[in-house]
């Protein structure tokens, strides 16, 4: 479905039934993509059609809205449901929706939802935790332009942690770093933050870092 004209022709031939049209579309794809599943190869073609880079934020956004549970792969039902929610029945409409979806991330709740999803997106299949390398890349992608303390957090993890990142650590770090007027000199070590955050705060203070400059 590479153009509006082709999409309309396909939809018209299927009596304007999006589900039927998508069935026909998937059946016409090469065997590497079957009716129920879009593989990594198919996803790369989708990125080309949408004119997005699979290493950039736009791909993470599309993966989130189209229900991808594994990086670079989509299940048909979730993909269809996502397209229907976005009211996108052509690739052109899906492509055109990306700036709007990206702009929605200025809303804190929308961004937090995408951030939490990124942990599921970044895990390898069957793994409970996310590799430190994958977590660092996703942190840089999601938070690099917003939080000045991200660099020292990554430095701390590489020097003192060196392990895979749990879901709790992933989620709680965002809650920690996104606090308004974060002042590490007032940090309560007896609070509800995990030990890793306690250690990070002490690491920062030892290096003379007392808060975020974002």
| DSSP per-residue codes, 15-79 | TT-HHHHHHHHHHTS-TTSBTTEE-HHHHHHHHHHHT--TTSHHHHHHHHHTT-SBTTBEEHHHH
96 and 16 assigned to the same domain: yes
99 and 177 assigned to the same domain: no
56 and 77 assigned to the same domain: yes
151 and 98 assigned to the same domain: no
Residue ranges for the chain with pLDDT beneath 50: 1-2, 31-33, 214
What CATH number is attached to the domain comprising 165? 1.10.238.200
Last residue of a domain, one of 68, 87, 105: 105
The whole domain housing 39 covers 4-105
Dihedral angle, C-alpha 120, 123, 129, 132, nearest 10 °:
-120
Could you give the number of structural domains in the chain? 2
123 and 159 assigned to the same domain: yes
Model confidence, pTM: 0.79
- Rg of the chain's alpha carbons, rounded to an integer? 21
89 and 113 assigned to the same domain: no
Predicted confidence (pLDDT) per residue in 1-53, tens digit = 445 555 555 555 555 655 555 655 555 555 444 567 888 888 999 999 999 99
108, 114 in Cβ contact below 8 A? Answer: no
Last residue of a domain, one of 105, 123, 152: 105
Q: Which of 43, 41, 39 is nearest to 52 (CA)?
A: 43
Q: What is the DSSP string of 106-130?
A: GSHHHHHHHHHHHHHHHSPTT-SSB
């Amino acid at each position: 479905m590479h153009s509006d004209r082709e999409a309309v022709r396909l939809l018209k031939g299927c009596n304007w039934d999006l589900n039927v049209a998508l069935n026909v579309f998937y059946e016409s794809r090469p065997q590497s993509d079957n009716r129920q599943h879009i593989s990594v190869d198919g996803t790369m073609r989708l990125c080309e059609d949408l004119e997005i880079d699979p290493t950039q934020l736009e791909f993470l956004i599309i993966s989130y809205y189209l229900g991808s549970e594994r990086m670079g792969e989509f299940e048909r039902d979730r993909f269809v449901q996502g397209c229907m929610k976005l009211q996108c029945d052509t690739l052109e409409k899906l492509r055109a929706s990306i700036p709007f979806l990206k702009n929605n991330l200025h809303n804190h709740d929308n961004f937090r939802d995408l951030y939490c999803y990124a942990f599921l997106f970044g895990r390898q299949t069957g793994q409970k935790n996310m590799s430190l390398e994958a977590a660092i890349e996703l942190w840089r992608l999601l938070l690099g332009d917003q939080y000045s303390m991200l660099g020292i957090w990554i430095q701390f993890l590489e020097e003192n942690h060196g392990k895979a990142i749990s879901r709790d650590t992933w989620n709680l770090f965002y809650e920690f770093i996104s606090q308004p007027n974060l002042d590490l000199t007032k940090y309560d070590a007896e609070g509800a933050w995990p030990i890793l955050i306690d250690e990070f705060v002490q690491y920062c203070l030892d290096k003379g870092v007392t808060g975020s400059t974002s």
